[in-house]
Each structure stands twice: as structure tokens, then as C-alpha cells.
Amino acid sequence: MITITALGAVVGLIVAIILIMKKINPAYSLILGSIIGGIVGGANIGETVSLMISGAQGMIPAILRILTAGILAGVLIETGAASKIAETIVEKLGESKAIIAIVISATILTMVGVFIDVAVITVAPIAMAIAKKTGISRTGVLIAMIGGGKSGNIISPNPNTISAADTFNIPLTSLMMAGIIPAIFGIIISIIIAKLLSNKGTKIQQEDIDEKTIEDKPSFFTALIGPLTAIIILSLRPLAGIVIDPLIALPIGGIIGCLAMGKIKSFNNYCIFGLGKMTGVAVLLLGTGTISGIIANSALKTVLTDFLTSTGAPAFLLAPLAGILMSGATASTTSGTAVGSQVFGSTLLGLGVPAINSAAMIHAGATVLDHLPHGSFFHATGGSVNMNMKERLALIPFESLVGITLTIVSTLIYGVFY
């Protein structure tokens, strides 16, 4: 068996991070970082490539499920269902509870399967319009959407959740439910932070508001039918012992939702759009798999485990720490969760930490640093509210505070009090 030195694994990660920050394609950056990490770590080129391929192969089951999840995501976004859900929540809660409405809207959209960055972009026009009327700053609006999105993301059938559930071989719905209590705390802290920052930073101007709307939006009820169908089908496993894989359940939700909204004629177009959204994630995960193959076969796991042992820290802390470190390295919840699960999963199980507990803590930990500037989320979310770079950078500590809250609550439930 080939073993890469801890130094090699760290060098590989650092090279990948530097390349991503230099705007090199993230997948290629991770692949090149893997090659350099393997060679620096003591393997020859053939052995390095073998480890990279092995790591990428481990991502294939999750990638297949993620690609099929694009059907539901495409239907939700392109039919206007996602924006209808957000609009209705804002309308029902009203301007007096604008920040709560924005947080809840972003939470619901990510919770039903919309990517967090797409959820923020979807909610942004509605949020900015109401912020203009109520005087909420650009900073307050964005942290409300991001905080709500992070909270919803850990209870969603999104790529990050799918990758962790797949690696630990646990039901997707079990991992989604494991995030419910942390998500509630995440929503609360997001509302508090957004209110504190509501008068900080620049104000929304009329030219910031995008008047473009999707024609012929569905009703709120029909907009929810697709994601609810998918969640009900996935829930059959824990409730009735009927196992229907997300690879089947999520597309069925998309089809049923499309039928309910009366837009089945455009179904193929929605599928093409959804696949386009998921393809980038799938390619990124292949790159992520190569670096996980290097790290998983390195001494880095042992170094981290020995460090925790030497400090007297409990073994379960390796799970949130893995999520935090890997999300910081990749600036992605999905990649952070995937690498953290692939690399440290077997070690955590060997230390006696149950699969569902490990997955929940890694997943929550991956929300702490997934918004760093070398990732696409940082730029996509800042662009959604026309925020300048200085103001966007100033938001990072507050985003991390939401992620830290999710992580602490998850660690208390699945580590300390378990």
C-alpha cells in the first residue's frame, strides 16, 4: 500500500488553494495539486496517478446522484417555482419582518434542493426590493440570505448532503433530519446578525433592483409539490423500510412537480438547464476526488488524530475539524464535505464515532469556511446584490459565525451529549 507523507498532502492542498486563488479552474487546480502532493509525498508518478484515480472513483456514486438531482433543481428554478416560494414567504411575513422573511426564504429554497448560491441569486431581487423600502443595507440583506442558505443547506437533498450520506452509507433523509436542530439555531443567529448589520454598509439603490420577472409563475402550492414529493419518497426508508435511492426519488419529484405546474411540455428544457448546473459540480467533485485520494492515503490523518489525542481532546472532534479544514481548503461546502467524509470517514468509524454522527458533524463543519474568496460562492453571492469587494470581504467573519453556530450545535448533539 502506498503511503504519502503528511507534508506531501499539505503541499498538495496548498498548491491547489494557490492555483484556485489565481483563478485557475478549480478542478484542474485540485488535480495539479494532487500530482504535486503525491510526488512530494514520496510516490512516483504511476503511484500518484493510481491514488488519484482511486479517489475519483470513490466520488462516482455521489456524482451520479447529483447529476440526476439536476432534474428537480432545473424544474424549481426554470418554472419560477423557486422564486414563487420566496415571494410568497416575503409577502406573508410582510415588510415589518423583512429580515426574518429573507432568512426563511433562503432557508426554504436550499432545504428543498436549490443550490445555496442559486438560492441567494433567486431571492436577491425580491430581497433588495423590500430592503429598498425598509432601509435595510446591502450587508444586512446578503448576510440574511447567506445565513438562511447555510441553515437550509444542511437539511437539504443537495450535493453536499448526498456526498456525505453516500460515503457513510446512511439514508439521505437521516442526514437531512440530523441537521434540523442545528439549522434552527443557524436561522436564529442569522436573523440576529442581519438585524445588527441592517444599518451597516451601503444602501440599496433603485438601479440595483432587477425588474425582470418570470412570466406565468405557478401557485405556491404547486411550486412545493415537486420537492415535497421527493422528500416523501426519500422518507419511505426510515418510515416504512422501503428503500428508494435519491437517484430515483429526486428526478421523480421533478417530474411530478412539472406535471402539477402544467409545464411538462418544457420538461426537457428544464432537464438541460439542471444538468448544466450540476455538471460543474460533478467535474469539481472528480477533481476533489483526486486530492482526497492523496490525502486519504497520507499520514495527515494520523498526524491530526495524534494531535487531538495528545491534547486530550475527544475523538469526535476530528469530524467537525475535518469539515472546517477541507471547506477552507476548497472554499466549497460540497467539496469540503466530500473530502472530509472520504478522507476521515474510516478513521472516525474506527475511533467509534457512529456514521450518522460523523457525517452530521463533518457536514456542519463544512459551512464554516466555504465562503472564502478562492471559491465561486464568495463572488456569486456578492454579485447578486452588486456588492463591492471591500464590503464583501468584511462579511466573511459573520458568515463564519453562522457556520460556527451550526457546527457547535451539531457537535454538542452528536459528539458531547451523544
**For 181-192, what is each residue's pLDDT tens digit?**
999 999 999 999
pLDDT of residue 215: 64
- Among 9-23, 34-48, 113-127, the range with the most confident prediction by mean pLDDT is 34-48
Average pLDDT over residues 204-209: 74
Count CB neighbours of 29 within 10 A: 23
| pLDDT above 90 (res 12) | yes
pLDDT of residue 294: 92
**What pLDDT is recorded for position 11?**
95
- Look at the chain and count its residues: 418
134: pLDDT strictly greater than 80: yes
Question: Are the C-beta atoms of 370 and 403 separated by less than 8 Å?
Answer: yes
Burial label for 1, CB within 10 Å (0-12, 13-18, 19+), is exposed
pTM score of the predicted model: 0.88
- Region 54-60 average pLDDT: 90
> Tens digit of pLDDT for each residue in 224-234?
999 999 989 98
**What is the pLDDT at residue 90?**
83
pLDDT tens string 73-89: 899 989 989 888 888 88
Confidence (pLDDT) at 96: 76
Q: pLDDT tens, 235-293?
A: 887 778 888 888 899 999 999 999 999 999 999 999 999 998 889 888 988 998 899 89
